[in-house]
Chain A
Amino acid sequence: MKFDHYKTDGFYDEMFTADGKPREGASVLVDALEGFSDEEMRRRQQAADVAFLNQGITFTVYGDKEGRERIFPFDIVPRIVPASDWAVLERGLQQRIRALDRFVDDVYHDAHIIKDGVIPEAVVRTSKGFRDQCIGLDPPKGIWCHISGIDFVRDGDGRYYVLEDNLRTPSGVSYVLENREVMKKVLPEIMGRMSIKPVTQYPIQLLETLQHLSGKSDPTVVLLTPGIYNSAYFEHSYLAQKMGIELVEGSDLIVDGGEVKMRTTRGLRRVDVIYRRIDDDFLDPAAFRGDSLLGVRGLMDVYRAGNVALANAPGTGVADDKVVYPYVPSMIEHYLQEKPILPNVPTFVCWDDKQREHVLGNLDKLVVKAANESGGYGMLIGPSASKEEREAFAAKIRDNPRNYIAQPTLALSRVPTRIGNGFEGRHVDLRPYVLNGRSIHVLPGGLTRVALRKGSLVVNSSQGGGSKDTWVLADNGGQ
C-alpha cells in the first residue's frame, strides 16, 4: 500500500514532515508498509481484529437483538515516538507527578500552597474530588498518587501539551499491553527491524509499586473491581491475571477485627494492599455514599488505622479537577523550585469573572469542558457547535461557573491510518502511564487514541474513537 496520495493537509503529522519525507525513525516503517499489497494489509488488519475478538476484548452493541459483540477498533499503523521526544516526556511526567503528589498531601494537611497564595482556597474546597474524610490522613509511605494516566496532545507547532491529569482510576493500560501483543503477531518483521522499547514489564512494576505500600515482605495484594458489568472489567481481570493476584469484588471482602479480610474456601484471609478500581464514593458505605453496594463497610477505618493500603489513595481527585489543572505549573515551581518541563494547554477558568466574560464572548472558538466529567461528556466543541448549542451551554456556564473551563481548539497532530484501501491522516492523543512507588516509572509508550471519523477531534471510544500501538524508539539510530 503506497503513501503516494497521502496528504498532511497542513496538520502536524507524526510520520511525515510537511514536504512528505518520513520523520526521524519512521523510514523503516514507511518502507515496509509500502511493500505490502492492499490484500496483505487487509489480511494483517483482519488477523489483528480476530485476535481481539478471540480474546474477548469486546463490547456489546446496544440494540443488536442477537447480543453480538464488536471489538474496539484498532488500527495497525503504529504511532512512533522518537527517543529524544520521549526523554523529555518522561522527565516532564516524573516532575509533574512529584508535584501533584505533594499537592494532595499538602491540601489535606497544612495547605501551605493556599496560605502562600498560589491557589485559591475556594478552588480546592469546592472541588468534587476533595474529601473531608482525608483531612489529616497519612497514607502509607506518604504516597497518594500511585498510578496515573496523563493525557497529552501535540499541537500544530509540534509541541506536546498536557491536556489533563487522571489520578483517580485511570484506565486503558491493558490496551497498551494487548495492542503490543497483537502487533507482535501482525507486523513481526517490521518490529524486528526497529528498536522499540518493550512494555511487558508494566504488570510487575505495578505489583512492586503496590507491594511497596506494605511493611510486610510478602503482602497480600488484591485488585478491587466493581464487577463484571463495569466497562473496564476486562482491564481489571487482565491486570490481576498478569500480576498473579486475586481479583475481588466488594462482597468478597469484609472488615473483621480491625483488618480487611477476604472470604476464601478455607475461611477469612487478611488483605494488606488494595488496588481499587472503584471511585471514592463507592469505596465504603460507612464513610462515603451509604447506598453503595460495591464497596466494603468500614474500609476507611481500617485504612486510617494503617492496617490496609489503598491505591490510589482516596481524595486524589482534588488534584485532577479541571479547574485545579491550570495551577499545576505553579505547583511545580512552588514545591520543587523547578521550571515545568511540559506546558499546559492555555486554559480559562469560568469562576473568574474576567475569564468567564472572555469565554462567553468567544464560545465559537473554544472547547468548553465540565470540571469532573470524562469520556467526552459535558463538553462543547465551539467551532463545530450550532448557535443553539452554544447558547444552551452559555446558560450552563452562567448557572455554575465553577464547573467549567475553556481551552482554544488545538490542531491535534495526525497519524496515517488505514481507511479503505489507502492511508488518511487522523487526529490522535496520547496517554502515558506513571507508577509512583519506591521511584517513579513511566511506561514507555501509552495509549494512542485515534479519532477515526474524518476531521473529528474526539478520540473517546464511546464517540467513535479507536486505538493504535505506540512505539517509543530506544534510540533514533541515525535514520
Chain B
Amino acid sequence: MLSRVANAVYWMNRYIERAENVARFVDVNLNLTLDLPEGHADQWEPLVITAGDSLVFKKRFGPATKENVIHFLTFDSVNPNSILSCLRQARENGRSVREIISSEMWQQVNRSYLYLQDAIASGTAIQSPHEFFARVKMDCHLFTGIMDATMSHGEAWHFGRMGRLLERADKTSRLLDVKYFMLLPRPTDVGSAVDDLHWQAVLKSASALEMYRKDRRRRITPWDVADFLILDRQFPRSIRYCVTKAEESLQVIGGKPGRAFHNKAEKRLGRLRSELDYIDLKDVFQKGFHEFLDGIQTEINYVGDGIHDTFFAAITVDETAPVSGGPQ
C-alpha cells in the first residue's frame, strides 16, 4: 500500500484512541471530585501534566482550574491534543484515505466530528458533561468496532490497529502516572479512603475496575493496580497486552512472523515487548514508579519513530515526501 496511506490510517487510529482517552480522563476526574470529601480540593493539574502539555497550558491559562482544564483538553482548537483537535485530525486523515477504509468507518468518524461541533456550539457539552463524554467514548468505540467488522484485516487494518494499540499503551502509562502527581494532603493518607478513591479512579479511567475486581477480589492496592494495568496478559488496555498485539500486527505487515527482526520498527518493538515479558512489579518499583512509566513512554515514542522511518518516510533520497501525522 502507499506509504502516505499507511501513515494516514495509522494516525487516524491514534487520534481516535487519543480522543477517547482524553474523554475518559476528564470524565473520571469530574466523577472523582463528587466522591472526594471536603478539604480534598479537586485536582486538575495532574491531567495537564500527564498529557505532556503542562508548559503550554500554564503560559496560556495560568492556574489549572476545572473550567480551564476541561476547556483545554476538550474544546480548545489551539491544543493539538484536545478531543476536538484529535477528532478533526482523525477526520482529515480519514478523508484522505476514504478510498481505502470502509465507507462505514468514514461515516462514523464524520458523524462523531459533526456531533462534537454541534455539542460545543449549542452548549450541551458543558450543560451535560457526562452525556457528552459518554457519547465521545462510545463514538470512538463504535469506530473501532466498525473498523474491525467492515475492513479487511490486511495491511492497512494492521497499520491502523498498531496505531491504536501504541497510543493506548502510551495513554495507560500516562494514566498510571496521574496518580503520581495527585497530591495526598498528609503522608498518613497513604492507604486511606481518599487514596483508595484515587486508585479506583485510575482503574475507572481505564475502564478496568470491574475486570480488576474479577481478577484480584481484594482491596485495591497500588501494587495490584500497577500489576494489572502494566503486566496483565488478558486485559485489553494493559501496556503489555497492547505492546504484544501491536507487535503481532507489525509482524504481519513485515510479512515474516517469528522471532527474527528485519527493520528498525521490529527491533524496537521486540525489545520493548520482551522487557515487559521479563519484568515484574518489584523491578518496576525498584526503578521508581514514575521513572519506569516515563521510560515506557520514551520507548513507545522510539517505536513510533522506527515505524515512521521504516514505512512512511520517503523511500528515495532525492525527494522528501511530506509527512502528515502529529505530535506525541
Residues of chain A whose beta carbon lies under 8 Å from any beta carbon of chain B: 53-56, 66-69, 227-228, 233, 237-238, 240-241, 245-249, 251-252, 254, 256, 262-265, 267-268
Among residues of B, the one whose C-beta sits closest to the C-beta of A222 is: B2
A161 to chain B, nearest CB (A): 37
Known: A241-B100, A264-B1, A265-B311. 10 other contacts (CB 8 A): A54-B107, A55-B106, A56-B106, A67-B117, A228-B96, A238-B99, A247-B100, A251-B4, A251-B322, A263-B2
Q: Is the CB of A237 within 8 A of B98?
A: yes
The answer to whether A54 touches B2, judged by C-beta atoms less than 8 angstroms apart, is no
* Interface majority SS (helix, strand, loop, mixed), chain A: mixed
CB < 8 Å neighbour of B117 from A68, A238, A252: A68
Contact A263 B98 (CB under 8 A): no
A246 nearest CB neighbor, chain B only: B2
- CB nearest neighbor in A for B318: A254
Q: Which residues of A sit under 8 angstroms from B314, Cβ to Cβ?
A: 263
Question: Min CB distance, A57 to chain B, in Å?
Answer: 10
A68 to B155, CA, bound (A): 34
B95/A263 in contact, CB under 8 A: no
Q: What residues on A are CB-neighbors of B41 within 8 Å?
A: none
Which A residues lie within 8 Å of B2 (CB)? 246, 248, 252, 262-265
Which residues of A sit under 8 angstroms from B253, Cβ to Cβ? 265
B→A interface (CB under 8 Å): 1-6, 92, 95-96, 98-100, 103, 106-107, 110-111, 114, 117, 121, 155, 159, 253, 311-312, 314-316, 319, 321-322
| Sample of 26 A–B contacts (CB below 8 Å) | A55-B107, A55-B110, A56-B110, A67-B117, A233-B95, A237-B96, A237-B99, A238-B98, A238-B99, A241-B100, A246-B99, A251-B4, A251-B319, A251-B321, A252-B2, A252-B3, A252-B321, A263-B2, A263-B315, A263-B316, A264-B1, A265-B6, A265-B155, A265-B253, A265-B311, A268-B315
* A254 and B319 form a contact (CB under 8 A): yes
Q: Looking at A56, A67, A254, A267, which has the most chain B CB atoms within 10 Å of its CB?
A: A56
List B contacts of A56 (CB < 8 A): 95, 106-107, 110
When chains A and B are docked, how far (Å) is the Cα of A265 from the Cα of B2?
Answer: 6
**A-chain residues with CB within 8 Å of residue B312 when the two chains form the complex:** 265
| Contact A228:B95 (CB < 8 A) given known A56-B110, A252-B4, A265-B311 | yes
Bound Cα distance A237, B319 (Å): 25
Which residues of B lie under 8 Å from residue A55 when comparing CB positions? 103, 106-107, 110
- The answer to whether B315 touches A267 (Cβ under 8 A) is yes
Knowing A252-B2, A264-B2 are in contact, say whether A228-B107 is a contact too (CB < 8 A). no
Distance of A100 from chain B, by nearest CB (Å): 30
Task: Identify which of B3, B6, B117 gathers the most chain A CB atoms within 10 Å of its CB.
Answer: B3
Give bound CA distance, A69 to B107, whole Å.
15
How long is the Cα–Cα vector from A51 to B117 in the complex, in angstroms?
Answer: 18
Q: Are A241 and B114 neighbours in the complex by a CB distance under 8 Å? A: no
Quick one: given A238-B98, A251-B322, A265-B253, are A53 and B4 in contact (CB under 8 Å)?
no
**Residue contact B114 to A53, C-beta cutoff 8 Å:** yes
A228-B92 in contact (CB<8A): yes
Residues of B close to A67: CB separation below 8 A: 117
For the complex, what is the distance from the CA of A248 to the CA of B96, rounded to whole Å?
A: 10
Q: Contacts of B311 on A, CB cut-off 8 Å?
A: 265
Expressed in whole angstroms, the minimum distance between the Cβ of B48 and any Cβ of chain A is 25
| B124 smallest CB distance to A (angstroms) | 15
Residue of B nearest to A55 (CB): B107
Nearest Cβ in chain B — how far from A65, in angstroms? 10
CA distance A66 to B123 in the complex (A): 13
Cβ–Cβ < 8 Å partners of B106 in chain A:
55-56
Shortest beta-carbon distance, B259 to chain A, in Å? Answer: 21
